[in-house]
């Protein structure tokens, strides 16, 4: 039987554009960041060269700062849109711990329904979590980039060395989010096209969503 359900707008253009620019900038930031870390590691390991960009320390720093401007400008646009146009209020709030636990249990049993254009409590919590990590990454990054000009910020992070570790841990948190995010997109691939086109057919309740 042909599917007669009309495609509905689910993801606004600003959200889609900023999402994909963010994904690109994040990959550049993480890969160049790993190369910068490798030059002076504070854990007993280095990242493999194939997982880094820049070729040498100066090149990786150039990549890191170029992607940083893109990430910050794009992030500010997304935050301004999210707050100013009510996107966060409509799509990411409220989040109640009880609902997160409830939806997480259903997701683990592959019984979480997918409402087109509506995020479940686990998604809301994860998206708000990664957005907070993004702010922490930028703030800790600023504090180690300009520790003299932003000495108050560096002090807030407990000094330069501790701020480096905070920056690393925030990166690890974002990396962990992206792994889970991608696994869930693979599990429910029909969420991918709407994030590109902005439209989706109202779905019957089936499967989990990223």
Q: Does 14 bind ligand HEM (CB under 6 A)?
A: no
Q: Does 153 bind ligand HEM (CB under 6 A)?
A: no
Q: Is the peptide bond before 125 cis (omega within 30 degrees of 0)?
A: no
Q: Does 209 bind ligand HEM (CB under 6 A)?
A: yes
SS3 call for 9? strand
Q: Does 199 bind ligand HEM (CB under 6 A)?
A: no
Q: Does 191 bind ligand HEM (CB under 6 A)?
A: yes
Measured CA to CA, the distance from residue 4 to residue 58 in angstroms comes to 56
Shortest separation between residue 98's beta carbon and ligand HEM, angstroms: 21
Show the site string, 50-89: x = touches ligand HEM by CB under 6 A, - = not: ----------------------------------------
Measured CA to CA, the distance from residue 25 to residue 69 in angstroms comes to 9
Which of 21, 79, 185, 187 touches ligand HEM (CB under 6 A)? 185
User: What per-residue string of b and e applies to 35-55 under the rule 16 or more CB within 10 Å gives b?
Assistant: bebbeeeeeeeeeeeeebbbe
Considering beta carbons, is residue 51 or 57 the nearer one to ligand HEM?
A: 51
Q: Taking contact as CB under 6 A, which single stretch among the options 1-9, 20-28, 31-39, 44-52 is the one that binds ligand HEM?
A: 20-28
Give the side-chain half-sphere CA count within 13 A for 154: 14
Q: Does 129 bind ligand HEM (CB under 6 A)?
A: no
Measured CA to CA, the distance from residue 167 to residue 188 in angstroms comes to 31
Say if CB 1 and CB 50 are below 8 A apart.
no
Q: Taking contact as CB under 6 A, which single stretch among the options 19-27, 39-47, 67-75, 98-106 is the one that binds ligand HEM?
A: 19-27
User: What per-residue string of b and e applies to 79-100 under the rule 16 or more CB within 10 Å gives b?
Assistant: bebbeeeebbeebbeebeeeeb
Binding residues for ligand HEM, per CB under 6 A? 15, 19, 22-23, 26, 91, 127, 130, 174, 178, 181-182, 185, 191-192, 195, 209-210
């Amino acid at each position: 039987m042909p599917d007669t359900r009309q495609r509905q707008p689910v993801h606004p253009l600003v959200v889609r554009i900023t999402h994909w620019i963010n994904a690109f900038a994040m990959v550049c930031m993480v890969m160049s960041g790993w190369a910068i870390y490798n030059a002076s590691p504070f854990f007993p390991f280095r990242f493999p060269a194939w997982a880094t960009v820049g070729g040498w320390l100066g090149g990786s720093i150039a990549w890191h700062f170029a992607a940083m401007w893109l990430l910050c400008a794009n992030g500010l646009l997304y935050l301004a849109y999210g707050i100013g146009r009510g996107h966060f209020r409509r799509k990411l709030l409220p989040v109640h711990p009880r609902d997160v636990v409830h939806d997480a249990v259903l997701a683990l049993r592959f019984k979480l329904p997918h409402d087109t254009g509506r995020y479940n409590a686990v998604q809301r919590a994860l998206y708000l979590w990664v957005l907070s990590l993004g702010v922490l990454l930028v703030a800790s990054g600023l504090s180690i980039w300009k520790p003299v000009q932003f000495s108050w910020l560096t002090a807030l992070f407990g000094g330069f060395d501790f701020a480096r570790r905070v920056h690393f841990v925030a990166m690890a948190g974002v990396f962990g989010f992206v792994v889970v995010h991608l696994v869930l997109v693979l599990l429910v691939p029909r969420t991918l096209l709407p994030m590109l086109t902005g439209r989706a057919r109202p779905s019957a309740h089936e499967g989990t969503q990223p």
